[in-house]
Amino acid sequence: MPSVQTIGSRSRRFDAMDKACGRERFASDEYPEGMLWAGALRAGVPHGVIRGMDTARAKAMPGVVAVLTAEDVPGENRQGFIHWDMPVLCGDKVRHAGDAVALVVAETREVLSEALASIILDIESLPVVDGLDAALAPDAPRVHDLETGNILKEATLRKGDACEALTHCAVIVEETFFTPQQAHCFLETENGTARMDEDGTLHMTVSTQAPFRDRFEIGRALGLPPNRLHLTAPYLGGGFGGKDGATVQCLLALAAMHAGGRPVKMWWSREESLLAGYKRHAARMHFRLGAEADGTLTALVCDLDYDTGAYAHLGVEIMALGLEHASGPYRVEHLEANGRCVYTNNPVAGAFRGFGVAQVCFAFEGVMDRLAAKLDMDPLELRAKNALRPGDRNGVGVGMISSTGMKECLAGLRGHPFWQSRDQWVREAPPLTRRGVGIAAVHNGMGYGRGLADSAVAKVRLTEEGRFRVYNSVSDMGQGNSPTFVQMACEILQQDESLMELVQPDTERSHPSGSSSAGRTTYTYGNALIKACEAMRDKLLHRAAMVLMVDDASVLELVPGAVRHAVTGQELPLAALVGMLHPDDRFCIGEAMMPVTQDVPEGGEAFRLGFPHLIFPYAAHLARVEVDELTGNVSVSDYVAFTDGGRVLNPQNFEQQVQGAVAQGLGYALWEDCFAEGGRLLTTDLSNYVIPGAGDLPDIESHAVETEEQSGPFGMKGIGEVGMNGPLPAVASALLRMGLPMTRAPFTPERILAAFDGDNS
Amino acid sequence: MNVLFPATVEAALEALCAEPDAHVMAGGTDLLVRCRAEQNRPETLVCLEKVADLAGFEISDGRIRIGAATSMTAVLENAAVRERLPLLHGAAKVFASPLVRNMATLGGNVCTASPAADMLPPLYALGAEVELRSLSGVRTMPVNDFIVGPGQMALAPGELLSAIIIPIPEGRTIQYFEKVGRRKALAISVVSLAALLRVEDGVIAEARLAWGSVGPMVIRCPEAEALLKGRSLTLGALREAGEKVRDTVSPISDVRASAEYRRQVAANLLLRLAQISGAH
Amino acid sequence: MIISFVLDGEARTLEVDGGARAVDILRESCGVTAPKEGCGTGECGACTVLVDGVPRLSCLMLAAQLDGRAVITAQGLASDGPHPVQEALADLGGVQCGYCTPGIAVTAAEFLERHPDPTREEIREALSGNLCRCTGYHKIVDAVEDAAKRLGSGCGRDE
């Protein structure tokens, strides 16, 4: 029996069954007839000057269609979409081991790999800038030719006078924290197919988070008009930020330009993905936090250094979010946040769920725990005392005029049995085991922030069969924005999901709606879709009124598959009604833009784009943690998250986002680290880059703290990111309480054992 | 690539004689990963999966003979192994993942001859022998003589590892295996300990201890074994034995852990034995 | 060489390089893309298929090894309608990006045949060779638990 899938109900995702049955086709599942394979030769050297490249053998190899180098790149040969500093193919200099230096197009994968191996590359190595210290040394070799040395951007945000205020504080805590580079490790590695038409139009199917914006990035890099680039983005096999910005796109487009009209496929191996794909910025964070004797936070001075690797990507914007979130979800009167975004010869750092924020949460929650210890205060009560409330100004002075549920999240934890029973649980630790219960309070700005027009254009169509088709135009990388769009359309159009169709982003069929990022996808497109669906509903009721000869459309209502007269029960099937509509008249479009704040702190003008934010989801997390005294192994026995994401549209999807983010956050806390020596990556595959498996994680309990986000679709706000930020500080908090003051993530058994040694108890 | 599927051991041996450069493939879970990493493809593979008499268990005369091509899943699920060789069972339990265990074989793991091979420390501690077949006959030798170096075995040309023969320990024993890895499943061993203790009247009558991943090959520590002999199983005795272990092992530092960590944990793991036996 | 095998119930005969990987033959030559490649080294389990009923990693199998075998992918598992495990994965939120899901579905389906009433710990152990980067596994475990109930209560496909 058909049922209307309503907002707020726990329901199966629209996309789930095809995926479970292996029927869904991802970009990597495309093998077009007659296709060629493209692959890149990687520098293999982290820093060097290209002296020569001998491609003669590769070119002569049977089955090789093209061997391309920097000379063959027709445009600016620069990738990036805010900062354009990354060559498609390096011609003179290589800046990290994963830099692409040549591109081969071949008939088969075997020929491709032989041809790539046959290219003789002559690179003169330069001294390697292997991290922040090396990059910031006075005589450091320069990764780029900048007057500022290796500093891509330096900025300071100021509210009040934090340095002066610190001198009056009753108590000050100070610590330096380090976080590693983290790899996204989406299971579907970077890939796509491309074919150039006779008329010069380039058709591409890519696993990408930003198909609309990709047109401009590819166009600029390769000198192609963006309107001749046609991209489709099927469901992604994961993204998490790592497919926000060109991965295969420019290389693939270049390959297609030399393929004589044949389709070309490029699919990075896992090893190539780890080497050449984007990563989360490693960071070093020095924090000084001052408070009054009663725990009221007064002043924070912090210095944040972000290692952006060889190229800028979104490094500056990521650092901006780090500075913006440096004081946590708390009232802090005085702030001085200094940031530097620094080039090194490490893999390129870029967007990753918790964009710049996941790093600072470790630091600010770390100093909160140390402050609680110093004041002998309960760590939860210290947080609750200082938590942002509606109407407060946050760390950078933005007024909290939107939903602000931080205190409520903490209240949830306070009442939870795991918090209530924490001392007993610790006491009952088995032999050779230490136990601790830790908490963290976190937030994460939603949307692009000021200056980037966070907008979406939604389209819904009544098909010839009388069904509704939603044209999603923000990639669905698994977060479930697009099934939620179906749910919204069902709600407004009063349809059963069996009457709905869903199209994934296609630059020729749907309208630009920005990237799948920043917790914005459901919010921004959802607001646009509500308008489109309401317009469609009104249109259909009015047209039906004409057919049914009623004077007042308000007596009509949409029911599954039909328009119905509420009084007489007379029904007009949509399949019949559609025939009355001219084909050009069968769709509706809605547009929406996220509100921004004009409250900008001193120094904030340094960030023209993406700073600051107005709307924040909040979360309070708890971790019950055990440490094995013989091996230093850390395991998380239980995990609880309270999350304020505004109204919950589908509890199942909400929990998925929380649990998935917590899992990645626990990976960040305990295992994940792109480990490099002298710029050479040692974590080359999934046997040594460790992401958690089913046996490594606990059940993750998720509770929604529902607030009403007035500006959001059905009162929601995006929670894709905030859950990522809690686990690292929550686990650190638990470890601190068992006498292990960890300042460097991940908390490997080795670091834990070393901390035992520093602990005389 | 030429892939051969002999149906009998004889046919496999003949294929190896005919193609001296051929690689032997059992489960392929190690070989094919290495081929990928090294970007080489052997000309000829002799695949053992259809050789019927290379897989299975024979229990007789106080020993268990396990065919070299027996899958790790079969080893894990075998009742005799579980009951009589809990040490081997314990290692099989944490071997890679269920999917890999369905493909990987016991003989294949032995033939990686890697210090990190999960099954080797138990086989050393149990005093296992390998059975080697060639067209000229069968010979056996202790597993610790078979492995002559990292990745190197005392395997003559044309010879095939056909079985692993494990004596069933007599009397009441404590058998304990622990692998320290970076995660629960699919972990490459950072340190592993296989311990077999025969305890009589509360006193250790015999201790056999073997560590993985703390040297170029599996490491036994006769000094620690001798120290434990004749003592009761206490934390104090185990700590003293641990000191000997620290001096004996010769680990390296790699992406998974430092040498110092491995040294420390190799000794620490002994302390678990007190917990296992309920001693203090 | 020429290999013959049964793929999702359909007999196939094709000429392959014996050294080609099974996963590539299934996806490219046979057009069955349910087995996914996530690592190529047996770490992620996305390429899992049932070979003569046993879950195996098709990235670590040669095409030649398929000869004479019966292969079932997640698509074949659903050939008479979704398997209860697939239903449960979809219903209980065990699917997000969905890339690991086909491998998890076949692994779990075979596991439940041998363990009709598993604990959550047993399910986690059974799925420990299938990595998922989206869900944190919680809902996947929920789904396999639920599928066991569906199978046990006679809601399975044999009814």
CATH number, domain of B159, equals 3.30.465.10
Considering the domain boundaries, does residue B28 fall inside one?
A: no
Cα-based angle A687, C44, A242 (whole degrees, multiple of 5): 85
DSSP state of A139: T
* φ, ψ for residue B210, nearest 5 deg: -140, 135
What length does chain B have?
280
Question: Distance between CA atoms of B271 and B280, rounded to whole angstroms?
Answer: 10
Last residue of a domain, one of C22, C40, C72: C72
Q: Does B29 touch chain A (CB under 8 A)?
A: no
Contact list in C for residue A18 (CB cut-off 8 A) is 98
Computed from CA positions of residues A493, A505, A512, A358, in that sequence, does the dihedral angle turn out positive or negative? Answer: positive
Query: Phi-psi bin for B127: left (phi > 0), alpha (psi -120 to 50), beta?
Result: left
A516 touches chain C (CB under 8 A): no
Q: Report the distance separating Cα B213 and Cα A205, nearest Å.
A: 45
Q: Which of C75, C95, C138 sits opposite A699 (nearest CB)?
A: C138
Question: What mean pLDDT comes out for the span C68-94?
Answer: 98
In terms of domains, do B201 and B248 share one? Answer: yes
- Give B244-265 pLDDT, tens digit per residue: 999 999 999 999 999 999 999 9
Closest CA to B55 of B104, B20, B22: B104
Substitution target in B265, B270, B276, B277 with the highest count of A β-carbons within 10 Å is: B265
In total, how many domains does chain C have?
2
Identify which of C42, C54, C65 has the shortest CB distance to residue B100. Answer: C42
- Give the range of the structural domain holding residue C117, as residue numbers without chain letter: 84-153
Which helix H or strand E contains B273, and what residues bound it?
helix B259-277
Question: B183 in contact with A at a CB cutoff of 8 Å?
Answer: yes
| Residue C158 in this model has a pLDDT that exceeds 70 | no
Q: Is B186 on the interface with A (CB under 8 A)?
A: yes
Among C43, C72, C101, where does a domain finish? C72
Of C30, C47, C72, the residue that ends a domain is: C72
In a domain, B105, yes or no: yes
Say yes or no: B185 and B145 in one domain: no
Q: Nearest Cβ partner of A237 from C28, C97, C123? A: C97
CB contact under 8 A, A671 and B258: no
| Selected residue of C41, C97, C128 to mutate for chain A interface (largest A Cβ count, 10 A) | C97
Residue B133 placed within a domain = yes
Per-residue pLDDT tens over the stretch B60-70: 989 999 999 99
The contacts of residue C149 (CB under 8 Å, 6+ apart) are none
Which residues have CB under 8 Å from B60's CB, separation 6+? none
Structure tokens at A72: 């063959």
Q: Do B186 and C43 touch (CB under 8 A)?
A: yes
How many whole angstroms separate alpha carbon A226 and alpha carbon A211? 11
3-class DSSP state for residue A520? coil
Question: Which residues in chain A are contacts of B278 at CB distance < 8 A?
Answer: none
Cβ–Cβ under 8 Å, residues A438 and A736? yes
Task: Tell whether the torsion through CA atoms of A365, A371, A376 and A377 is positive or negative.
Answer: negative
Q: Is A263 on the interface with C (CB under 8 A)?
A: no
- Cβ–Cβ of C138/A700 closer than 8 Å? yes
Upstream peptide bond of A612 is cis (omega within 30 degrees of 0):
yes
b/e map of A244-275 (b: 16 or more CB within 10 Å)? Answer: bbbbbbbbbbbbbbbbeebbbbbbbbbbbbbb
| Side-chain-facing half-sphere of A240: CA atoms under 13 Å | 33
**Which fold, A279-449+599-757?**
Aldehyde Oxidoreductase; domain 4 (3.30.365)
* Nearest-angstrom CA–CA distance, A451 and A597: 10
A236 touches C at CB < 8 Å: yes
Domain range A31-126+190-267, CATH class: alpha beta
Contacts of A552 (CB under 8 A, 6+ apart): A545
- In sequence order, the β-bridge partners of residue A442 are A619
Q: A: neighbours with 3+ CB pairs under 8 Å?
A: B, C
- Expressed as residue numbers, the domain containing B180 is 173-277
Structure-token pair, residue A282: 């490693």
pLDDT, residue A678, reads 87
Closest A-chain CA to C100: A187
For residue A442, the distance in angstroms to the closest alpha carbon of chain B comes to: 27
Q: What is the dihedral of CA B182, B187, B190, B193, to 10 degrees?
A: 120
In chain B, which residues have their Cβ closer than 8 Å to the Cβ of A688? 188, 255-256
Contact at 8 Å (CB) between B124 and B144? Answer: yes
Kindly state whether residues C32 and C60 are assigned to the same domain. Answer: yes
Q: Is residue A560 reached through a cis peptide bond, with omega within 30 degrees of 0 on the bond before it?
A: no
Note whether B237 and B267 are same-domain residues: yes
pLDDT digits (tens, 9 = 90+) for A581-639: 999 999 999 999 999 998 888 888 888 788 999 999 999 999 999 999 999 999 999 99
User: Given the structure tokens 């460790």, which residue do they identify?
Assistant: A690
Is residue B100 over pLDDT 50?
yes
SS3 B16: helix
Residue of C91, C99, C100 whose CA lies nearest to C143: C91
Does C100 lie in the same domain as C54?
no
Chain B stretch 82-141, residues whose beta carbon is closer than 8 A to a beta carbon of chain C: 96-100, 102-103
Percent of chain C with pLDDT over 90: 94
Which stretches in chain A have pLDDT values below 50?
A: 1-3, 760-761
| H helix count then E strand count, chain A | 20, 30
Contacts 24+ apart (CB under 8 A), A416-425: A416/A622, A416/A640, A418/A622, A418/A624, A418/A638, A418/A640, A419/A380, A419/A622, A425/A624
- Encode pLDDT of A228-283 as tens digits: 999 999 999 999 999 999 999 999 999 999 999 999 999 999 999 999 999 999 99
Asked if C90 and C147 sit in the same domain, the reply is: yes
User: Residue A374: what residue type?
Assistant: K
Are B79 and B151 within one domain? Answer: yes
Q: How many structural domains compose chain B?
A: 2
Q: Is residue C159 part of a domain?
A: no
C100: domain CATH number is 1.10.150.120
Among partner residues B183, B188, B258, which is closest to A693 by beta-carbon distance? B183
Largest Cα–Cα separation, chain B? 60
Radius of gyration of chain A (CA): 27
pLDDT of residue A604: 83
Does residue B64 fall inside a structural domain?
A: yes
Q: How far lies A717's CA from each of A527, A542, A714, in Å?
A: 11, 33, 9
Give domain status of residue B240, yes or no.
Answer: yes
Domain identity same for C88 and C149: yes
- Please tell me whether residues C51 and C104 are part of one structural domain: no
What is the Cα–Cα distance from C4 to B275, expressed in whole angstroms? Answer: 55
Question: What's the token pair of residue A438?
Answer: 């830790």
- Residue in chain B closest to C49 (alpha carbons) equals B99
When pLDDT is cut at 50, 70 and 90, the band that residue C19 belongs to is confident
B193 and B153 co-located in one domain: no
Q: How confident is the model at residue B280 (pLDDT cuts 50, 70, 90)?
A: very low
User: pLDDT value at position C159?
Assistant: 37
Task: Tell me chain C's radius of gyration from C-alpha atoms.
Answer: 15
Q: What is the CATH number of the domain that holds C16?
A: 3.10.20.30
pLDDT at position C148 over 50: yes
Task: Please tell me if the domain spanning A15-24+455-593 has the same topology as the one spanning A31-126+190-267.
Answer: no
C105, C130, C133 member nearest A238 (Cβ): C133
Q: Are residues C9 and C54 in the same domain?
A: yes
Query: What's B258's domain CATH number?
Result: 3.30.390.50
**Which residue of chain C is at minimal alpha-carbon distance from B37?**
C41
Q: Note whether A107 contacts B: Cβ–Cβ < 8 A.
A: no
One domain, residues B217 and B242: yes
User: Same domain for C149 and C91?
Assistant: yes
Per the prediction, chain B carries an average pLDDT of 95
Q: Where are the domains of chain A?
A: 15-24+455-593, 31-126+190-267, 279-449+599-757
Distance in angstroms (rounded) separating the CA atoms of residues C141 and B141: 46
Mutate to test the interface with A, among C92, C96, C104, C107 (most CBs of A within 10 A): C96
3-state DSSP assignment of residue B258: coil
Contact A77, A89 (CB under 8 A): yes
Q: What angle do CA C22, C28, C30 make, to 5 degrees?
A: 80
Helical (H) or strand (E) element with A297: strand A297-309
Using the 3D structure, point to which of B167, B183, B201 is the last residue of a domain.
Answer: B167
Residue C78: inside a domain, yes or no?
A: no
Q: What is the spatial distance between Cα B119 and Cα B126, in angstroms, rounded to a whole number?
A: 11
**DSSP designation for A522:** I
Are C65 and C95 within one domain? no
CA distance A634 to chain B (A): 10
Last-in-domain residue among B167, B195, B210: B167
Are A34 and A502 in contact, with CB atoms under 8 Å apart?
A: no
Q: Domain A15-24+455-593 falls in which CATH fold?
A: Aldehyde Oxidoreductase; domain 4 (3.30.365)
Contacts with C23 from chain B: Cβ below 8 Å: none
DSSP classification of residue B22? P
C105: pLDDT strictly greater than 70 = yes
Q: What DSSP line would sit under C22-40, residue for residue? A: HHHIIIIIS----S--S-S
